[in-house]
Structure 1
Amino acid sequence: MNGAAIEPLRNAVRHLVTAVSSAALYTFDHQQVTRLRAMTLENLTAAMDEEPDISLVIIGDELLAGGIPLDTGLYVGRFVEMLRARGIGHIRFLKGITGMELSSLAASLGGNRRDGDIRSSEHIRLGTVEVRFNRSGDGENQELLADLTAEEVSRVTELYEAVARDRKLKASGIADMVGGLITAMREQARPLMALAPLRDLDEYTFAHSVNVCILNLAQAMSLGIDGALLREIGIAGLLHDIGKMFVPREVLTKPGKLTEEEWRLIRQHPHQGARCLVETPGVPHMAAVVAFEHHMKHDFSGYPAVPSGWRQSLVSEMTVISDFFDALRTRRAYRDSMELSQIAGILLDQRGREFHPLLTRNFLLILSRMMA
């Protein structure tokens, strides 16, 4: 989110909460309440001059705007309580919002209504935070998704190996691959059960890339992300490890401990992947950023090293979690796969250090719903 939109958005939340609280003391048509509603609209309009589509998402006790946590002060905390009490986990403001729409929202938040009585409007969309999949799918549909992921592994294998051979990436068809996965995931009950298995150690990078794509999509969809941005997040996951095609295969599949020189080659793959993607027409810039940042870790204890003050992309931090999860759930040359409970424990233990704390909480929520 544009930083210039954050301050007026905070002010809008503050005025809205105060308006709702004041209406409980006086009346909804009281002059003070009317003035606070007008100030809410003024600040919200100013924020949408910078960001015409603003999504607020509740994760735990935090309120995220475009992936950026708002201050956890009195007003934001009270706003989260109001939304949660009415079954709302996600609220989206669209440019063009009217005073009448805002007044209706304020009245709903101040009443005793449950979520079934609160309605979205043209410029205010309300929803819950969950992966938006059809849960009525059956085993046959799950097999169809499994067949699709197997097909995508084959296509990604060809794509990656062409890079290893020619040192160039051809972007044609990548967006269609991700679009097909998005469509299939929306139609299935438990799509994460179709994460591609590892059949051969040499295939690891290819199956892993499809899985990271699927896990990125699941994270993004659970946060209400859709359209072109969702597709770009999937593409970033699919191509995050493209730099490994510049590393000798015997190093990638070595069962024993890497030498200092072999480790140096491994650590170069974020640079090489980002360079490859930047030089490829038709690849979203986000994919190059994620290829460069996906081993940095939340606290920058990973690699590559970057200057002080560097701000990681939220999509890179999603990819770190997806990458870590799929790596541990898959048998590798040097260790067996881990149980989901073990992986969840590591994620919880390292949130705030290796992993973004709010994204980690959301990821574990997705797993609990989709793989129970």
Structure 2
Amino acid sequence: MNELNRQAVQAAVRNLVTAVSSSALYAPDHQQPSRLREKALASLQHALETVAEIALVVIDDELLVDGAPLDSGLYIERFVELLTGRGVGQLKFLRGIDAGELAAFARRLAPGGNGPLKATPHIRLGRVEVRFAGGAGNEATADATSFSADEVARFREVYEGVSKHRRLKATGIAEVVDAFIATLRRQAQPLLPLAPLRDMDEYTFTHSINVCTLNLAQAISLGIDGPLLRDIGIAGLLHDIGKLFVPTEVLTKPGYLDEDEWQVMRRHPHQGARCLIETPGIPPLAAIVAFEHHLKHDLSGYPAVPASWRQHPCSEMTAISDFFDALRTHRTYRDAMELKEIAGILLEKRGQEFHPLLTRNFLLLLSRTMS
């Protein structure tokens, strides 16, 4: 976005905030707030002449557009307060926005506004709230340590790009993982910032973020740092990318798959590995993990490999993360399991399905969360 457009966005925010504030003194349809909303709309429409959308993201009390913060000031600070007070981390204005949409948004944005904020055809909202499911029906919010809307949105773009075009772009993936690492380092309980993420109900997308988080927590606890830690996070984030090549009716089928459907599902490690190998900028470890994460420690899983096969430790780490998150997540065909129940299953299967030492380390991390 060029400087003139940034100034236009800044002016739009200033006039919108002033309109919201003045509505507390005047009726919503009074000339003063109406005039200010008109000025805000004119600024937005001017900026939208050269771009299709304006994406605003709140990160650490700053308002960013195109990844760069707008100039600080009372208006920006107040706008951030209004957005975060309504649980909004992302806001998009799309070309075609009209006066009615902006007026309705302004009325609901005001403190004590009439009803919740709602998306419209040309105003999109992103609510980002990270919750940890301590067990079925027992959820605690972790607002202060939530992954930023910006990083989650970046990965969503990657995810949707593969889903629509069957091609992966590496741009921004490393930065997403770096942000997740920074979040985990601030945690006293390393497994706290797990999804579900509000308004993001695609299981594969949300599960991928969780497996990345769990991989990073395991690796950090083992003293891994630097480029290898980042690669382990990327491998977790992309371990299931092959599922985006599985037909939707198979991937989302409630209940159990029949034999033909299961054979289709079992191909996703090959498809994911091939996709990652063919994508410049993706570390080789990610392709290895995509291929190996269903092998099991005793190689009784899939794909079939020679008896002499040696799995990468990151693949075995990912298998634990994958298994844990799958069981703690509510699915259409079963309820989420309690953490103690999952821990018992991991203990039972260590040495067979899961690496015994890595399982022990994971259970130690889990015990810190359960205590």
TM interval, shorter chain, is: 0.5 to 0.7
* Identity in percent: 69
State the distance in 2 between where 1:352 and 1:263 align: 26
Matched, 1:156 2:127: no
Matched, 1:169 2:129: no
| Residues 98-155 of structure 1: per-residue CA shift (max 9 Å, x gap) | xxxxxxxxxxxxxxxxxxxxxxxxxxxxxxxxxxxxxxxxxx994132243x654443
Q: Which runs of 5+ in 1 are unaligned?
A: 1-139
State the distance in 2 between where 1:298 and 1:250 align: 30
Q: Which runs of 5+ in 2 are unaligned?
A: 1-139
Structural RMSD (CA): 1.9
- Structure 1: which 4+ aligned runs deviate by more than 3 Å? 150-155, 198-202
2:239, 2:289 within 8 Å by CA — same for their partners in 1? yes
State the distance in 2 between where 1:232 and 1:201 align: 25
1:278, 1:288 within 8 Å by CA — same for their partners in 2? yes
Trace 1:142-221 onto structure 2 (pairs within 5 A).
Answer: 142-148=142-148, 152-197=151-196, 203-221=202-220
- After TM superposition, the score normalised by the length of structure 2 is 0.60
| Residues 233-259 of structure 1: per-residue CA shift (max 9 Å, x gap) | 000000000000000112111102212
Structure 1 residues 141 and 350, CA gap change in structure 2 (3 angstroms): closer
| 3-state SS in 2 of match to 1:275 | helix
Trace 1:333-348 onto structure 2 (pairs within 5 A).
Answer: 333-348=332-347
Letter in 2 for 1:232: D
Instruction: Work out the number of aligned pairs and report it.
Output: 232
2:145, 2:186 within 8 Å by CA — same for their partners in 1? no
Trace 1:218-233 onto structure 2 (pairs within 5 A).
Answer: 218-233=217-232
State the distance in 1 between where 2:316 and 2:260 align: 28
Equivalent position of 2:264 in the other structure:
265
2:293, 2:319 within 8 Å by CA — same for their partners in 1? yes
Letter in 1 for 2:146: A
| 3-state SS in 2 of match to 1:309 | coil
| Residues 162-195 of structure 1: per-residue CA shift (max 9 Å, x gap) | 1121111000100000001111111222242220
State the distance in 2 between where 1:341 and 1:347 align: 10
State the distance in 2 between where 1:227 and 1:336 align: 38
1:198, 1:330 within 8 Å by CA — same for their partners in 2? no
Structure 1 residues 364 and 151, CA gap change in structure 2 (3 angstroms): farther
State the distance in 2 between where 1:220 and 1:193 align: 16
State the distance in 2 between where 1:277 and 1:193 align: 29
- After TM superposition, the score normalised by the length of structure 1 is 0.60
Could you say which structure has the higher helix fraction?
1
Equivalent position of 2:325 in the other structure:
326
Equivalent position of 2:112 in the other structure:
none
| Residues 293-315 of structure 1: per-residue CA shift (max 9 Å, x gap) | 00000011110001120100000
| 3-state SS in 1 of match to 2:217 | helix
Structure 1 residues 191 and 366, CA gap change in structure 2 (3 angstroms): closer
1:152, 1:210 within 8 Å by CA — same for their partners in 2? no
1:164, 1:246 within 8 Å by CA — same for their partners in 2? yes
Letter in 2 for 1:143: D
